[in-house]
Protein backbone atom coordinates (compact mmCIF):
# COMPACT_ATOMS: atom_id res chain seq x y z
CA UNK A 1 0.00 0.00 0.00
CA UNK A 2 1.12 3.48 -0.69
CA UNK A 3 1.93 5.65 2.21
CA UNK A 4 0.07 8.53 0.48
CA UNK A 5 -3.19 6.72 0.93
CA UNK A 6 -4.71 7.70 4.31
CA UNK A 7 -7.69 6.26 6.20
CA UNK A 8 -10.44 8.94 6.73
CA UNK A 9 -11.14 9.88 10.34
CA UNK A 10 -14.66 9.14 11.58
CA UNK A 11 -16.45 12.00 13.41
CA UNK A 12 -16.70 11.49 17.16
CA UNK A 13 -20.35 11.83 18.35
CA UNK A 14 -20.98 14.49 21.00
CA UNK A 15 -22.43 13.34 24.32
CA UNK A 16 -26.15 14.13 24.72
CA UNK A 17 -27.30 16.64 27.31
CA UNK A 18 -29.73 14.16 28.82
CA UNK A 19 -28.24 14.44 32.26
CA UNK A 20 -28.56 18.25 32.26
CA UNK A 21 -32.20 18.10 31.13
CA UNK A 22 -33.14 15.71 33.93
CA UNK A 23 -31.47 17.99 36.41
CA UNK A 24 -33.41 21.01 35.16
CA UNK A 25 -36.70 19.14 35.43
CA UNK A 26 -35.87 18.03 38.95
CA UNK A 27 -34.93 21.56 39.99
CA UNK A 28 -38.16 22.94 38.46
CA UNK A 29 -40.32 20.44 40.37
CA UNK A 30 -38.39 21.14 43.54
CA UNK A 31 -38.91 24.92 43.34
CA UNK A 32 -42.62 24.53 42.48
CA UNK A 33 -43.05 22.28 45.51
CA UNK A 34 -41.29 24.78 47.72
CA UNK A 35 -43.48 27.61 46.43
CA UNK A 36 -46.66 25.61 47.04
CA UNK A 37 -45.57 24.82 50.58
CA UNK A 38 -44.72 28.45 51.23
CA UNK A 39 -48.07 29.58 49.78
CA UNK A 40 -50.11 27.30 52.01
CA UNK A 41 -48.08 28.40 54.99
CA UNK A 42 -48.64 32.07 54.21
CA UNK A 43 -51.66 34.25 54.97
CA UNK A 44 -52.65 34.26 51.28
CA UNK A 45 -54.13 30.77 51.66
CA UNK A 46 -56.21 31.74 54.69
CA UNK A 47 -59.61 33.41 54.99
CA UNK A 48 -58.89 37.05 55.65
CA UNK A 49 -62.47 38.43 55.74
CA UNK A 50 -66.08 37.21 55.88
CA UNK A 51 -68.51 39.72 54.38
CA UNK A 52 -72.28 39.46 54.94
CA UNK A 53 -74.69 41.42 52.74
CA UNK A 54 -78.48 41.75 52.47
CA UNK A 55 -79.30 41.17 56.13
CA UNK A 56 -81.55 43.67 57.89
CA UNK A 57 -83.05 41.79 60.83
CA UNK A 58 -80.43 39.16 61.59
CA UNK A 59 -77.02 40.17 62.88
CA UNK A 60 -74.01 39.54 60.64
CA UNK A 61 -72.22 37.82 63.52
CA UNK A 62 -75.06 35.31 63.84
CA UNK A 63 -74.90 34.48 60.15
CA UNK A 64 -71.12 34.18 60.33
CA UNK A 65 -71.39 31.72 63.21
CA UNK A 66 -73.95 29.64 61.32
CA UNK A 67 -71.56 29.39 58.36
CA UNK A 68 -69.13 27.47 60.62
CA UNK A 69 -66.12 29.27 59.16
CA UNK A 70 -63.82 31.83 60.71
CA UNK A 71 -61.05 34.19 59.72
CA UNK A 72 -57.82 32.21 59.55
CA UNK A 73 -59.35 29.01 58.18
CA UNK A 74 -57.91 27.58 54.99
CA UNK A 75 -59.45 29.38 52.02
CA UNK A 76 -59.41 26.38 49.66
CA UNK A 77 -60.59 23.89 52.28
CA UNK A 78 -64.12 25.33 52.62
CA UNK A 79 -66.98 24.67 50.18
CA UNK A 80 -69.27 27.47 49.07
CA UNK A 81 -72.13 25.02 48.59
CA UNK A 82 -71.79 23.66 52.11
CA UNK A 83 -71.84 27.16 53.58
CA UNK A 84 -74.96 28.04 51.57
CA UNK A 85 -76.81 24.98 52.87
CA UNK A 86 -75.97 25.79 56.49
CA UNK A 87 -77.16 29.39 56.23
CA UNK A 88 -80.32 28.53 54.27
CA UNK A 89 -81.49 26.35 57.18
CA UNK A 90 -81.55 29.35 59.51
CA UNK A 91 -84.92 30.89 60.45
CA UNK A 92 -85.66 34.22 58.78
CA UNK A 93 -83.31 33.37 55.86
CA UNK A 94 -85.08 32.79 52.55
CA UNK A 95 -82.04 32.32 50.29
CA UNK A 96 -78.25 32.47 50.65
CA UNK A 97 -75.49 32.82 48.04
CA UNK A 98 -71.81 32.33 48.95
CA UNK A 99 -68.93 33.36 46.68
CA UNK A 100 -65.18 33.11 47.25
CA UNK A 101 -62.93 35.92 46.09
CA UNK A 102 -59.18 35.38 46.06
CA UNK A 103 -57.28 36.24 48.08
CA UNK A 104 -59.07 35.21 51.25
CA UNK A 105 -62.51 36.87 50.99
CA UNK A 106 -65.78 34.97 51.59
CA UNK A 107 -68.84 37.00 50.58
CA UNK A 108 -72.25 35.84 51.89
CA UNK A 109 -75.36 37.42 50.36
CA UNK A 110 -78.65 36.57 52.08
CA UNK A 111 -82.31 37.35 51.43
CA UNK A 112 -84.49 37.45 54.52
CA UNK A 113 -88.17 36.57 54.64
CA UNK A 114 -90.20 39.79 54.45
CA UNK A 115 -92.06 41.29 57.40
CA UNK A 116 -95.78 40.59 56.98
CA UNK A 117 -97.28 41.69 60.31
CA UNK A 118 -96.58 42.89 63.82
CA UNK A 119 -97.58 41.68 67.26
CA UNK A 120 -97.19 42.48 70.95
CA UNK A 121 -95.30 39.79 72.86
CA UNK A 122 -96.27 38.39 76.23
CA UNK A 123 -93.75 40.75 77.82
CA UNK A 124 -95.36 43.74 76.11
CA UNK A 125 -92.54 44.22 73.62
CA UNK A 126 -93.23 44.92 69.97
CA UNK A 127 -92.29 42.20 67.52
CA UNK A 128 -92.18 41.82 63.76
CA UNK A 129 -93.61 38.62 62.27
CA UNK A 130 -91.94 37.29 59.12
CA UNK A 131 -93.40 35.24 56.28
CA UNK A 132 -91.89 32.04 57.70
CA UNK A 133 -93.54 32.65 61.09
CA UNK A 134 -90.33 33.75 62.79
CA UNK A 135 -90.59 36.61 65.28
CA UNK A 136 -88.05 39.40 65.63
CA UNK A 137 -88.07 41.88 68.47
CA UNK A 138 -88.22 45.48 67.33
CA UNK A 139 -86.31 48.41 68.71
CA UNK A 140 -88.08 51.03 70.75
CA UNK A 141 -90.60 53.04 68.76
CA UNK A 142 -94.12 52.85 67.43
CA UNK A 143 -95.33 50.00 65.27
CA UNK A 144 -95.55 51.03 61.60
CA UNK A 145 -99.11 51.29 60.33
CA UNK A 146 -98.46 49.82 56.90
CA UNK A 147 -98.93 46.22 58.09
CA UNK A 148 -101.61 44.45 60.13
CA UNK A 149 -101.27 43.56 63.81
CA UNK A 150 -101.83 39.94 64.84
CA UNK A 151 -103.82 39.52 68.06
CA UNK A 152 -105.23 36.45 69.78
CA UNK A 153 -102.76 34.00 68.24
CA UNK A 154 -100.77 31.47 70.23
CA UNK A 155 -97.18 30.46 69.62
CA UNK A 156 -96.93 27.25 67.65
CA UNK A 157 -100.39 27.62 66.09
CA UNK A 158 -100.16 25.99 62.64
CA UNK A 159 -102.83 28.37 61.35
CA UNK A 160 -100.64 31.31 62.32
CA UNK A 161 -97.72 29.87 60.36
CA UNK A 162 -100.02 29.28 57.38
CA UNK A 163 -101.35 32.84 57.63
CA UNK A 164 -97.84 34.31 57.66
CA UNK A 165 -96.93 32.32 54.57
CA UNK A 166 -100.05 33.55 52.76
CA UNK A 167 -99.44 37.16 53.81
CA UNK A 168 -95.93 36.92 52.37
CA UNK A 169 -97.41 36.09 48.96
CA UNK A 170 -99.90 38.99 48.96
CA UNK A 171 -98.76 42.42 47.71
CA UNK A 172 -98.41 45.03 50.44
CA UNK A 173 -100.84 47.32 48.62
CA UNK A 174 -103.63 44.74 49.02
CA UNK A 175 -103.09 44.73 52.80
CA UNK A 176 -102.87 48.49 53.26
CA UNK A 177 -106.45 48.75 54.62
CA UNK A 178 -106.09 45.82 57.05
CA UNK A 179 -105.30 46.96 60.59
CA UNK A 180 -105.75 43.77 62.62
CA UNK A 181 -106.14 40.02 62.08
CA UNK A 182 -107.59 37.68 64.71
CA UNK A 183 -108.35 33.94 64.66
CA UNK A 184 -112.05 33.08 64.55
CA UNK A 185 -112.27 29.33 63.90
CA UNK A 186 -115.59 27.58 63.47
CA UNK A 187 -116.58 23.97 62.92
CA UNK A 188 -116.96 24.25 59.13
CA UNK A 189 -113.98 26.63 58.84
CA UNK A 190 -111.13 25.73 61.22
CA UNK A 191 -108.90 28.35 59.58
CA UNK A 192 -111.43 31.16 59.70
CA UNK A 193 -110.08 34.62 60.54
CA UNK A 194 -111.47 38.07 61.34
CA UNK A 195 -109.92 41.15 59.77
CA UNK A 196 -110.47 44.72 60.88
CA UNK A 197 -110.08 47.43 58.25
CA UNK A 198 -109.16 51.06 58.68
CA UNK A 199 -112.32 51.86 56.73
CA UNK A 200 -114.42 50.62 59.68
CA UNK A 201 -115.45 47.21 58.37
CA UNK A 202 -115.07 43.72 59.85
CA UNK A 203 -114.16 41.06 57.31
CA UNK A 204 -114.61 37.33 57.84
CA UNK A 205 -112.78 34.90 55.60
CA UNK A 206 -110.40 31.95 55.85
CA UNK A 207 -106.67 31.65 55.43
CA UNK A 208 -107.21 29.45 52.37
CA UNK A 209 -109.58 31.98 50.77
CA UNK A 210 -107.52 35.06 51.67
CA UNK A 211 -105.26 35.18 48.57
CA UNK A 212 -108.29 34.95 46.30
CA UNK A 213 -110.69 37.19 48.26
CA UNK A 214 -108.31 39.98 49.28
CA UNK A 215 -108.10 41.23 45.69
CA UNK A 216 -111.86 41.86 45.65
CA UNK A 217 -112.02 43.57 49.05
CA UNK A 218 -111.06 47.17 48.06
CA UNK A 219 -113.56 47.25 45.20
CA UNK A 220 -116.25 45.67 47.38
CA UNK A 221 -115.76 48.26 50.13
CA UNK A 222 -115.74 51.07 47.56
CA UNK A 223 -119.08 49.88 46.18
CA UNK A 224 -120.57 49.88 49.68
CA UNK A 225 -119.27 53.38 50.33
CA UNK A 226 -120.85 54.57 47.11
CA UNK A 227 -124.16 53.37 48.57
CA UNK A 228 -123.38 55.44 51.73
CA UNK A 229 -122.58 52.31 53.76
CA UNK A 230 -119.56 53.13 55.88
CA UNK A 231 -119.45 50.22 58.33
CA UNK A 232 -120.64 46.69 58.84
CA UNK A 233 -119.63 43.06 58.52
CA UNK A 234 -118.31 41.63 55.26
CA UNK A 235 -118.19 37.87 54.89
CA UNK A 236 -115.97 36.56 52.14
CA UNK A 237 -116.47 32.83 52.36
CA UNK A 238 -118.41 30.77 49.84
CA UNK A 239 -120.37 33.91 48.90
CA UNK A 240 -119.47 37.52 49.54
CA UNK A 241 -122.04 39.70 51.30
CA UNK A 242 -122.38 42.58 53.73
CA UNK A 243 -124.40 42.90 56.95
CA UNK A 244 -124.76 45.82 59.37
CA UNK A 245 -123.19 45.94 62.78
CA UNK A 246 -125.46 44.69 65.56
CA UNK A 247 -125.61 45.97 69.17
CA UNK A 248 -122.94 44.40 71.36
CA UNK A 249 -121.70 42.45 68.39
CA UNK A 250 -118.32 41.76 69.94
CA UNK A 251 -120.01 39.75 72.71
CA UNK A 252 -122.21 37.76 70.32
CA UNK A 253 -121.50 34.61 68.44
CA UNK A 254 -120.59 34.70 64.80
CA UNK A 255 -123.96 33.22 63.91
CA UNK A 256 -125.65 36.31 65.33
CA UNK A 257 -123.44 38.48 63.17
CA UNK A 258 -124.88 36.88 60.05
CA UNK A 259 -128.55 37.78 60.76
CA UNK A 260 -128.59 41.06 58.78
CA UNK A 261 -129.74 41.54 55.21
CA UNK A 262 -127.31 42.32 52.39
CA UNK A 263 -126.34 45.96 51.85
CA UNK A 264 -127.31 47.01 55.34
CA UNK A 265 -131.02 46.22 55.06
CA UNK A 266 -133.00 45.19 58.17
CA UNK A 267 -134.79 41.85 58.12
CA UNK A 268 -138.53 42.49 57.96
CA UNK A 269 -140.61 40.87 60.73
CA UNK A 270 -144.10 39.87 59.61
CA UNK A 271 -146.75 41.08 62.08
CA UNK A 272 -150.31 39.69 61.92
CA UNK A 273 -153.24 42.09 61.63
CA UNK A 274 -155.80 41.66 64.40
CA UNK A 275 -159.50 41.68 63.60
CA UNK A 276 -162.45 41.36 65.86
CA UNK A 277 -164.47 38.25 65.46
CA UNK A 278 -167.48 37.99 67.74
CA UNK A 279 -165.84 40.05 70.41
CA UNK A 280 -162.65 37.97 70.18
CA UNK A 281 -159.43 39.05 68.75
CA UNK A 282 -157.81 36.62 66.35
CA UNK A 283 -154.93 37.02 63.92
CA UNK A 284 -155.83 37.48 60.33
CA UNK A 285 -153.63 35.43 58.07
CA UNK A 286 -151.67 37.59 55.71
CA UNK A 287 -148.94 36.76 53.22
CA UNK A 288 -145.66 36.84 55.12
CA UNK A 289 -142.61 38.58 53.71
CA UNK A 290 -139.67 36.27 53.47
CA UNK A 291 -136.53 38.12 54.64
CA UNK A 292 -133.34 37.73 52.75
CA UNK A 293 -130.84 35.93 54.90
CA UNK A 294 -127.15 35.49 54.22
CA UNK A 295 -125.97 32.12 53.10
CA UNK A 296 -125.12 29.71 55.86
CA UNK A 297 -121.57 28.63 56.38
CA UNK A 298 -120.91 25.36 54.69
CA UNK A 299 -117.87 23.21 54.92
CA UNK A 300 -115.25 24.08 52.37
CA UNK A 301 -114.76 21.24 49.89
CA UNK A 302 -111.55 19.40 50.43
Q: Domain of 247: which CATH number?
A: 3.40.50.10960
Do 60 and 149 lie in a common domain? no
User: One digit per residue, pLDDT tens: the chain, 302 residues?
Assistant: 455 566 666 666 666 656 678 888 888 898 999 888 888 888 888 999 999 999 988 899 999 999 999 999 999 889 999 999 999 999 999 999 999 998 899 999 999 999 999 998 888 888 889 999 999 887 766 566 678 999 999 988 999 999 999 999 998 888 889 999 999 999 999 999 999 999 999 999 999 999 998 988 999 999 999 999 999 999 988 765 677 766 554 444 443 343 333 333 333 333 333 333 333 333 333 333 333 444 444 444 33
C-alpha span between 15 and 21 (Å, rounded):
13
Nearest in space to 234 (alpha carbons), one of 198, 197, 270: 197
Do 168 and 106 lie in a common domain? no
| pLDDT tens for each residue of 250-277 | 444 443 343 333 333 333 333 333 333 3
Do 156 and 251 lie in a common domain? yes
Nearest in space to 244 (alpha carbons), one of 259, 255, 254: 259
Q: Is residue 170 part of a domain?
A: yes
Do 157 and 104 lie in a common domain? no
Helix or strand or coil: residue 18?
helix
List all residues 6 or more positions away from 173 whose beta carbon is below 8 Å from its beta carbon: none
Q: Is residue 27 part of a domain?
A: no
Going by their DSSP bridges, the two strands 232-236 and 135-137 should be labelled as unpaired
Q: Is residue 139 part of a domain?
A: no
Do 87 and 187 lie in a common domain? no
pTM of the model: 0.64
Q: Is residue 295 part of a domain?
A: no
Do 149 and 256 lie in a common domain? yes
pLDDT for 234 equals 93
C-alpha span between 174 and 39 (Å, rounded):
58
Q: Is residue 133 part of a domain?
A: no
Neighbour tally for 99: CB within 10 Å:
13
Do 224 and 176 lie in a common domain? yes
Q: Is residue 101 part of a domain?
A: yes
Last residue of a domain, one of 91, 112, 133: 112
Do 252 and 160 lie in a common domain? yes
- Residues forming beta bridges with residue 100, ordered by sequence position: 106
Q: Is residue 269 part of a domain?
A: no
Do 158 and 220 lie in a common domain? yes
Do 149 and 88 lie in a common domain? no
What ranges make up the beta strands (E) of 22-168? 49-53, 93-101, 105-112, 115-120, 126-130, 135-137, 149-150
- Angstrom CA distances, 59 to 15, 63, 92, 281, 297, stand at 72, 7, 11, 83, 46
Q: Is residue 155 part of a domain?
A: yes
The structural domain count of the chain equals 2
Q: Residue 58 belongs to a domain with what CATH number?
A: 3.10.20.310
Do 208 and 103 lie in a common domain? no
Domain that holds residue 195: 145-264
Do 179 and 255 lie in a common domain? yes
Amino acid sequence: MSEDRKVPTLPVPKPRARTNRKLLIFLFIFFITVLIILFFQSSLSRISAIEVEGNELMASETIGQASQIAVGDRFFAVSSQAIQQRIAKMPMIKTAVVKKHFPGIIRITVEEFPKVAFQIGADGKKQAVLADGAVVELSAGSIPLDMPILTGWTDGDPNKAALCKVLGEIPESALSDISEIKPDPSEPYPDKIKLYTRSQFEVYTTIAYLPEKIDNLPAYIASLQEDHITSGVIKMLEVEYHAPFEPNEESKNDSNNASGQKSGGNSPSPTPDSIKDGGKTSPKPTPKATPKSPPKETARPS
